[in-house]
Amino acid sequence: MPTKKICSIVIPCYNEEDNVMQLYSELKKLSIPEHISLKLLYVDDNSEDDTWPRICELSRADSSVSGIKLTRNYGHQAALQAGLREAGGDAVITMDADLQHPPSCIPRMIECWEDGANVVNMIRKPDPTLPVFKRVSSSLFYKTFRFLTRLSLNDGQSDFRLFDSFALSGILQFQEKCIFLRGIVCLLGTKQESLEFIPAARQYGETKYTLPKMLRLALNASISFSAFPLRLGFFIGIICISFAFIYVIYAFGIRIIIYPENIQHGWASLVVLISFLFGSQFLYMSIMGEYIIRIFNECKNRPTYIVEGKTSSVGKS
Ligand code: UDP
Ligand code: MG
């Protein structure tokens, strides 16, 4: 009998005791091609409720279920990273525990993967039932992110996606500590396909993305993918110095010649001096910024490139 392909499903959970079982039974109902076997990996992000005992219970009853528990609440992105490192197989799917990512999409994702996609991104269709604040803040975040990074991150991009083993090995080469997976996937290259889905309502419990967590994610995503804020000093510096030069021409050229009687001594030189010094300071800060950008990039230790293929002659002398 030919060996089955393994597709692991990574599910980060934080206080999802009621969703763990529900998601399990939904996943078990799926009609998956015979030659594929699903494995479930729950990542407990240090829940305070009975999430972990439920995962352990499931794992004892079904050998295709396993779990890892983190020592404290590291956040969704870190929990996903932990799951991706732990999961093996020919493909890995990441999805939320609350059933907002409909399990019924999984057969389509697998089909797309078998047709040759390295990554299958699931794009959330606009959801009119979401609170206005969440819709506005999310759209604002994606717009700012695109402006700052020039990466084409779709408004509805979610962390519901499939990686084949090649894309997964690429993702695991990104060693950074404050990871923003949606951004990393944009840097990955490889053959990526997108499918749309209609998000379901959260099954049990409340959102675990509190406002501070959302702000931290947005800040982390923007800072780790864009050096623009550090380069802003350059533009402010140029504006201040240009203003100083224009004011010199205005004050000493036009005003002294045309209205010499109105001149207040010292005023113009003060304005010019302050603008020039501020401008120079900003310019110097932007030079320091360039060094910090380089240190930051080195610290992130991102792969410089990912090799897609090699001819058979590589390595033979
Ligand atoms: N989650 C996590 N750690 C956290 C916050 C959330 O593992 O600190 C998990 C959560 O259990 C869920 C997924 O991340 O499976 C997405 O969170 P949630 O559904 O609360 O976010 P929302 O859909 O409201 O944006
Ligand atoms: Mg959710």
What confidence category does residue 252 fall into, taking pLDDT thresholds of 50, 70 and 90? confident
Q: How far apart are the first and last CA of the chain?
A: 39
Distance 98 CA to ligand 2 centre (A): 6
Decide whether any atom of ligand 1 lies within 6 Å of the 210 Cβ. Answer: no
69 vs 203, residue with greater confidence:
69
Lowest average pLDDT, out of 188-202, 245-259, 271-285, goes to 245-259
What is the residue extent of each domain of the chain?
5-208+303-310, 228-300
Q: From the CA of 15, give the closest atom in ligand 1.
A: 11
Give the per-residue pLDDT at 155: 87
62 vs 201, residue with greater confidence:
62
pLDDT at 113 over 90: yes
Give the per-residue pLDDT at 76: 95
pLDDT at 254 over 80: no
Edge-to-edge, what's the strand order for the sheet holding 91-94?
A: 65-69, 36-44, 5-13, 91-94, 157-164, 119-124, 192-197
Distance 160 CA to ligand 2 centre (A): 11
Distance 14 CA to ligand 2 centre (A): 11
What confidence category does residue 85 fall into, taking pLDDT thresholds of 50, 70 and 90? very high
What confidence category does residue 255 fall into, taking pLDDT thresholds of 50, 70 and 90? low
Give the per-residue pLDDT at 130: 81
Give the per-residue pLDDT at 244: 92
Distance 142 CA to ligand 1 centre (A): 19
- State the average pLDDT over residues 247-262: 75
Superfamily for domain range 5-208+303-310: Spore Coat Polysaccharide Biosynthesis Protein SpsA; Chain A (3.90.550.10)
pTM over 0.85: yes
Decide whether any atom of ligand 1 lies within 6 Å of the 162 Cβ. Answer: no
pLDDT at 264 over 90: no
Per-residue pLDDT of 199-242, as tens digits, reads 888 888 888 888 898 899 999 999 999 999 899 999 999 999 99
Give the per-residue pLDDT at 6: 95
Instruction: Calculate what percentage of the chain has a pLDDT beyond 70.
Output: 96
- State the average pLDDT over residues 284-301: 92
Distance 100 CA to ligand 2 centre (A): 6
247 vs 64, residue with greater confidence:
64
Lowest average pLDDT, out of 158-162, 167-171, 203-207, goes to 203-207
For ligand 1, pick from 24, 76, 138 the residue to mutate: most ligand atoms within 8 Å of CB. Answer: 76
Give the per-residue pLDDT at 208: 85
Per-residue pLDDT of 19-60, as tens digits, reads 999 999 999 999 999 999 999 999 999 999 999 999 999 999
Give the per-residue pLDDT at 154: 87
The DSSP code sequence of the chain is -PPPEEEEEEEEESS-HHHHHHHHHHHHT----TTEEEEEEEEE---SSSHHHHHHHHHHH-TTEEEEE-SS---HHHHHHHHHHH--SSEEEE--TTS-S-GGGHHHHHHHHHTT-SEEEEEEPP-TTS-HHHHHHHHHHHHHHHHHH-----TTEEEEEEEEHHHHHHHTT---SS--HHHHHHHS-S-EEEEEEPPPPP-SS--S--HHHHHHHHHHHHHHH--HHHHHHHHHHHHHHHHHHHHHIIIIIIIHHH-GGGPPTTHHHHHHHHHHHHHHHHHHHHHHHHHHHHHHHHHHT--S-------TTTT--
Give the per-residue pLDDT at 317: 60
Give the per-residue pLDDT at 316: 67
Decide whether any atom of ligand 1 lies within 6 Å of the 76 Cβ. Answer: yes
